[in-house]
Structure 1
Amino acid sequence: MQFTFATASKILFATGAARRIPELAGTLGSRPCLVTGGHPERAQWLIDGLTKTLREPLVIPVSGEPDTEVASAAAKAAREAGCDVVIGLGGGSVMDTAKVVAALITNTDDIYEYLEVVGKGKPLTQRPVPLITVPTTSGTGSEVTANGVLLSREHGVKVSLRSTDMIADLAVIDPQLAASMPPKVTAATGMDALTQLMEAFVTHKSTPMTDALCREGLMRAATALPLAFEDGSDMSAREDMALAALLSGICLANAKLGAVHGFAAPIGGKSHAPHGAVCAALLPHVMEANLRALRERDPDSPSLHAYREVAVMLTADVACDAEDGAAWVRELCEGLSIPPLGELGVEKADFDLLADQAARASSMQGNPVELTRDELIGILEAAY
């Protein structure tokens, strides 16, 4: 047995914890850069708190899916402003941008020197400035992951800038911040968390530590996601989903993912569909394809046993088999009104390209079985 494990230096999880951000930021720096969503006025409470406690922050709003140009320009502005602590308040895209900004403040080469797949993938040579991540959704787990996902418009694909040095110094998880999420966003982000927990559990790169966290997260998400979708004010369900998302981020940072996320990056780059919705549309079909392939080509794989354990956790039926887990996920997606890929802007004409790009994606390396090109195309057709 041999593995490594890394996560945020400190995690603060509590309803109301966000009020402590200015005080905590002051222990890490004096000139804050605050990365927010496209409506920074919603973060005025934090802007005021930072201004009172430290200095007026440099505010960088991020609308939609961040790209390499946005991240590079934001890092340049933060560097020139003398920012020495970065705070990311928002969903996955905001926190990913914040991670990249913190990294590029001190690592000043062109961003493509560091990017995977479309760049040179060089390691960071300087430690990023201190980083605080504050999720306002419950899904991506980006608050504790080691990479920032950006769209490369030139290449039409989402890629990562990755380093364990990019894991946040402090992750502040306040479930109350997600209470205003509408049902559609609750469903998509929650399915992203569920997907990450499941893929990290069945991957051949899982570890005893990630397995333990995945089990906890899967059982909470299975119960809490439908409740949070039906009633966004259910704070018990919101807390469970915030924890499930946090655990999913820790697990994906320490184990590989799989074919769902292998597809999600090229699909997101091509169609700009929401990441969580894409994951949800794909998940039951990837599960089914993986199970067929494992039974045919690797019937003794530990991943088959892991899939059955997933099914037991999801269905609460100890007599079920692995395929029952996929059926449960399919029914959950129907209950959450998850749209198919065709309604998310994916074009059938792009299936060949998407399959080729997915096969080369870094996430695909963690899939429990190598899928053929026909199997990859079959997943897209089934999810369409």
Structure 2
Amino acid sequence: MPSFALTLPGDIRFGAGRAGEAAALTDQAADGGAVLLVTGASDRHAAPLRAQLKAPVVTVRAEGEPTVEAVQAAVAQARQANVTAVLGVGGGSALDTAKAVAALVHNGEPLDHLEVVGHGRPLTGPVLPWIAVPTTAGTGSEVTRNAVLTAGRVKVSLRSPALLARAAVVDPDLLQGLPRTPLVHGGLDALVQLVEPLLSCRANPVTDALARQGLTASLRSLPRAAAEGTDDPQVREDLALASMLGGICLANAGLGAVHGLAGVAGGMLGAPHGALCAAFLAGVLQADLEALRRAPDQSVQNRFEALAELVTRTTGAGAEKAVSALGDLVRSLGVPGLDELGLRDEHVAELVEGAAAASSTKANPISLTVVELTRAVEISR
């Protein structure tokens, strides 16, 4: 058994109707000071919590992907209001903005600490406590220790164990009425964030168990959600659970080349992250299997076969079945292809170069050459 460590928020609360607990948790974290409330484009779920808060509240809307500039503006507001806690209510963009602001109020500028485009320095000052209330199911940002920001055409991470939420309050009922497109894209992002950690070279027994549980929930309910919506409480619970478990798995076992490619492509094309992950999924897995013929590794082969049994619900299904079954699922959900998402021939070399250097790619189950990464893109198109 490999040695491993786990990093998790200190307080995870999951269940229908639990969102209301976030206000008291935030007031406790603020300890008499002001609260920065970060919401998405919609205020629907944040408004009831704002009304329950006893602390003074400053509200910031995170509309679209969080950028370095948007985070700097929110940090300035938080400093001016002497904020002592942050409450994030929304999708991945709102939660990543919330945790980035919590990290930076007492720690200088984003470029001091960002990977790739910045200096990557560790956080040395205090990080404000922050409470996460996800209203979509996809990123698992409520339980991760990094915030993904856009800097120009590049998506980069602000990363530290100090970024873990003081509390993550996951209420599946907040998914009711979510439009189909964000529901499907988010659900596929969560699915990939369970598949890649299960195959990862950094996997451990705990993430294996959580990934299996999350995949079972996702495969059971994502097609139903796409076809019928989220009126069924079981569907909402499955999607919320898959997203949360995917976040725990990626934070503790890493991801792989799917996210390596999707992260770079997102900065280049501005396309939805979940759609890009789905578009690259089968191509990368097929490239992995082809690479295994070059460098056989029985443990990796076993992981692919275990994945195949999960996604096909068939004992003894071969590794190739995992690729075809996941490809069929993506197609059945009507996700646009890479060309529809804006990828052009002239993008491929830059895309592959960026993905080869991406931190996500480092956890791929087998190290892919530039030729093999290019092959993965070609298959995906």
**Same fold flag (TM > 0.5):** yes
Residue 306 of structure 1 and its aligned partner are, at CA, apart by 0.8
**Residues in 2 aligned to 1:342 and 1:130: alpha-carbon distance in whole angstroms:** 42
Between 333-342 and 34-43, the greater mean CA deviation after superposition = 34-43
Report deviation, 1:90. 0.9
Find out whether 1:32 has 2:29 as its counterpart. Answer: no
Q: TM-score, normalised by structure 2?
A: 0.96
- 1:76 maps to 2:79: no
Q: Deviations over 1:124-159 (max 9, x none)?
A: 002311111111111111100000000001xx1100
Letter in 1 for 2:74: A
For the Cα contact (< 8 Å) 1:7–1:145, is it kept in 2?
yes
Aligned to 2:352: 355
Q: Is the 8 A contact 1:294 1:301 kept in 2?
A: no
Q: Is 1:149–1:161's contact at 8 Å kept on the other side of the alignment?
A: yes
Matched, 1:186 2:193: no
Pair 21,42 (structure 1): closer, same or farther in 2 beyond 3 Å: closer
Matches within 5 A, 1:223-238: 223-232=220-229, 233-238=231-236
How many angstroms does 1:47 deviate by?
A: 2.1
**Quick one: distance in 1 between partners of 2:188 and 2:298?**
26
Q: CA deviation at 1:326?
A: 0.9
SS of structure 2 residue aligned to 1:333: helix
**1:360 maps to amino acid:** A
CA shift at 1:42, angstroms?
5.6
Residues in 2 aligned to 1:26 and 1:42: alpha-carbon distance in whole angstroms = 17
- Taking only the aligned residue pairs, the percentage that are identical comes to 42
Aligned counterpart, 1:245: 243
1:378 Cα deviation after fit? 2.0
Is the counterpart of residue 312 in structure 1 residue 309 in structure 2?
yes
- Aligned to 1:40, the other structure's residue is in SS state coil
Q: Distance in 2 between matches of 1:12 and 1:378?
A: 42
- Count of matched residue positions in the alignment of Structure 1 and Structure 2: 377
Shift in Å at residue 178 of structure 1?
1.1
Determine the structure 1 residue equivalent to 2:97. 97
Q: Which residue of 2 aligns with 1:117?
A: 116
CA contact (8 A) 1:133 1:172 kept: yes
Alignment match of 1:159 (pick from 139, 156, 159): 156
1:167-187 Cα deviation digits (max 9, x unpaired)? 101001000111221222211
- Give the match for residue 325 of structure 1: 322
In structure 2, C-alpha distance between the alignment counterparts of 1:110 and 1:62, rounded to whole Å: 18
Deviations 1:234-254 (A, max 9, x none): 220110110111001011111
Hey, what's the Cα distance between the residues in 2 that align with 1:184 and 1:140? 15
Displacement of 1:218 after TM fit?
A: 1.1
Secondary structure at 1:343's aligned position in 2? coil
- Give 1:1-384 correspondences, 5 Å limit: 1-29=2-30, 30=32, 31-40=34-43, 43-50=46-53, 53-55=54-56, 57-107=57-107, 109-153=108-152, 156-232=153-229, 233-297=231-295, 299-384=296-381
SS of match in other structure, 1:33: strand
SS in 2 for 1:27: helix
Unaligned runs of 5+ in 2: none
1:110 Cα offset (Å): 2.1
Provide the rounded CA distance (Å) in 2 between the counterparts of 1:227 and 1:269: 31
1:41 Cα deviation from its structure 2 partner: 5.8
Secondary structure of the equivalent of 1:341? Answer: coil
Q: Deviations over 1:193-247 (max 9, x none)?
A: 1101111111111111111111111111111111121122122011011011100
User: 1:310-365, CA deviations, whole angstroms, 9 ceiling, x for partnerless residues?
Assistant: 11011110021111011111111111101101111222211110000000101010
Q: Which amino acid counterpart does residue 15 of structure 1 have in structure 2?
A: A
Query: Does the 8 A contact of 1:65 with 1:272 survive in 2?
Result: no
Q: How far apart, in 2, do the equivalents of 1:345 and 1:62 lie?
A: 24
- Amino acid in structure 1 at the alignment position of 2:87: I
2: distance between equivalents of 1:138 and 1:208?
24
- SS state at 1:253 partner: helix
Q: Is contact 2:305–2:316 with CA below 8 Å preserved after alignment?
A: no
Task: Give the deviation of 1:305 after TM superposition.
Answer: 0.7
Deviations 1:278-325 (A, max 9, x none): 00111111111111111321x234122111101101111002111101
Q: Can you give the 5+ residue segments of structure 1 that lack an aligned partner in the other structure? A: none
Look up the SS of the partner of 1:106 in the other structure: coil
Q: Kindly provide the CA deviation profile for residues 47-73 of structure 1, in whole angstroms up to 9, marking residues without a partner as x.
A: 2222xx322x11110111111111111
Q: Distance in 2 between matches of 1:300 and 1:14?
A: 40
Amino acid at match of 1:82: N
Structure 1 residue 381, shift from structure 2 partner: 2.2
> Structure 1, residues 233-277: CA drift from partner, whole Å, max 9, x if none?
122011011011100101111111100110111111111111111
How far apart in 1 are the matches of 2:44 and 2:305? 46
> How big is the alpha-carbon RMSD for the aligned residues of Structure 1 and Structure 2?
1.2
Deviation (angstroms), 1:6: 0.7
Moved over 3 A (4+): 39-42
Counterpart CA distance in 1 for 2:45 and 2:210 is: 33
Q: CA deviation at 1:382?
A: 2.2
Between the aligned partners of 1:256 and 1:243, the Cα distance in structure 2 is 18
Letter in 2 for 1:8: P
CA contact (8 A) 2:284 2:377 kept: no
